[in-house]
């Protein structure tokens, strides 16, 4: 379980310093697919970068399976990050490496080498995302949707407990988006991995998420089950995201 408690992230010092996150508290249950949603500038990407400690929170706690991870460093931080995989909007693949080498990259990063067992596992993961036949190709030879599927395979390479998806489908066409979302849904069902989906799309949330948290200007303004929020949004931010306001008023 990920417990985000009173998380604040400021840039600069003093009371007037801009706050990307302002006293945010969210629980992400084990095995859940939770959507964290908001318009541009709501603080979504900052939040996900704080969860895996690419950004250091100014205050507050991130507690994972009962352990406060916000103060981790060195080997402990590296070990924690192996438990928390990231899937980015821009895929983050290494252009000069083959698809297989990209999926194997976490093994090299963790141990300094790639074994035959690692390669066999990487091919299994490529098969899982329907791209085993592309193992010898390079990212430039793949479509955007295919590159994102490779990124999912890479994220799964070290058997993470958590996957953080930062706008993972925003650069994709509808068909590719559906393919990627189905893969994430199936991985969650088959492995029990916990997934946090950072997005501005309520359509994405509706398709695969169980629960949702709504951010606005760095603050948590609404959270609950997807069914509850969609049926009866309470805040202006949620209503805007759902298209429940008169935009021409």
Q: What is the pLDDT of residues 213-235, one digit of tens each?
A: 999 999 999 999 999 999 999 99
Q: What is the mean pLDDT of the chain?
A: 91
Residue 116 scores a pLDDT above 90: yes
pLDDT of residue 242: 86
Residue 89 scores a pLDDT above 90: no
pLDDT of residue 200: 87
Choice among 13-22, 158-167, 187-196 with the minimum mean pLDDT: 13-22
pLDDT of residue 248: 60
pLDDT of residue 246: 67
**Residue 78 token pair:** 């590296």
Residue 249 scores a pLDDT above 60: no
Q: What is the pLDDT of residues 125-166, one digit of tens each?
A: 999 999 999 999 999 999 999 999 999 999 999 889 999 998
pLDDT of residue 189: 92
pLDDT of residue 119: 94
Prediction pTM value: 0.89
pLDDT of residue 245: 72
15: pLDDT confidence band, cut at 50, 70 and 90?
Answer: confident
Q: What is the mean pLDDT of residues 89-107?
A: 91
pLDDT of residue 124: 94
The dotted CATH code for 2-241 is 3.40.50.300
CA distance 247 to 56: 37
Q: What is the pLDDT of residues 28-63, one digit of tens each?
A: 999 999 999 998 889 998 999 999 999 999 999 999
pLDDT of residue 90: 82
Residue 17 scores a pLDDT above 80: no
Q: What is the mean pLDDT of residues 209-213?
A: 95
């Amino acid at each position: 379980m990920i417990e985000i408690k009173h998380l604040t992230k400021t840039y600069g010092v003093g009371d007037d310093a801009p706050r990307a996150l302002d006293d945010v508290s969210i629980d992400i249950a084990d095995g859940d697919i939770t959507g964290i949603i908001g318009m541009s500038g709501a603080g979504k990407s900052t939040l996900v970068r704080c969860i895996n400690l690419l950004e250091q929170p100014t205050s507050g706690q991130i507690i994972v399976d009962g352990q406060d991870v916000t103060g981790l460093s060195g080997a402990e931080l590296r070990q924690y990050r192996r438990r928390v995989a990231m899937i980015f909007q821009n895929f983050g693949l290494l252009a000069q490496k083959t698809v297989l080498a990209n999926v194997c990259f976490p093994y090299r990063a963790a141990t300094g080498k790639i074994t035959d067992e690692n390669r066999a596992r990487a091919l299994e993961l490529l098969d899982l995302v329907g791209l085993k036949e592309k193992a010898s190709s390079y990212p430039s030879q793949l479509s955007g949707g295919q590159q994102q599927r490779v990124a999912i395979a890479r994220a799964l390479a070290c058997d993470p407990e958590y996957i953080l998806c930062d706008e993972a489908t925003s650069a994709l066409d509808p068909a590719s988006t559906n393919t990627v979302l189905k893969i994430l849904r199936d991985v969650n069902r088959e492995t029990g991995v916990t997934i946090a989906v950072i997005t501005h799309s309520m359509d994405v949330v509706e398709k695969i998420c169980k629960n949702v948290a709504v951010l606005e200007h760095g603050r948590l303004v609404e959270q609950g089950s997807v069914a509850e929020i969609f049926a009866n949004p309470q805040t202006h931010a949620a209503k805007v995201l759902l298209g429940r306001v008169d935009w021409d008023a």
